[in-house]
Amino acid sequence: MTQERDTWPPGTIFTVGHSTLPIERFLALLGAYAIARLVDVRTVPRSRHNPQFNADALAASLATAHIAYAAMPALGGVMNSPIRVGATRAFAALPTICRQQRSVRPSRS
């Protein structure tokens, strides 16, 4: 994996879903790809069945792994909703947003 990581261009954006992973496995996955910041695009950053992915719990777990957390719900949307169309446009603008912002302050939800 190290060889691949060395060829990723600066500013590469990865996407990941939490699925039902235990938080330790999720953090290990992020670590394997040297992820330094997680941007949470969920409009409802809670999970009834996987509370380790609720915004507060996720931010705390990421902090212990030295991974920055930023909430950007404007980039998300609700499935099968008109909001999703706007979210797709916002998501398309993500590379521009990342270039414009050198750092994103952690969210205080």
Using the predicted structure, report yes or no on whether residue 99 has a pLDDT greater than 70: no
Q: Residues with Cβ < 8 Å from 61, sequence gap 6 or more?
A: 23, 27, 52
Residue 47 has pLDDT above 60, yes or no: yes
Write down the pTM of the prediction.
0.67
Tokens in use for 19?
Answer: 């699925």
Which among 96, 97, 74 is positioned nearest to 84, based on CA atoms?
Answer: 74
| Residue 5, H or E segment | helix 2-7
Q: 47 is written with which tokens?
A: 């999970």
> Residue 92 burial by CB count (10 A; 0-12/13-18/19+): exposed, middle or buried?
exposed
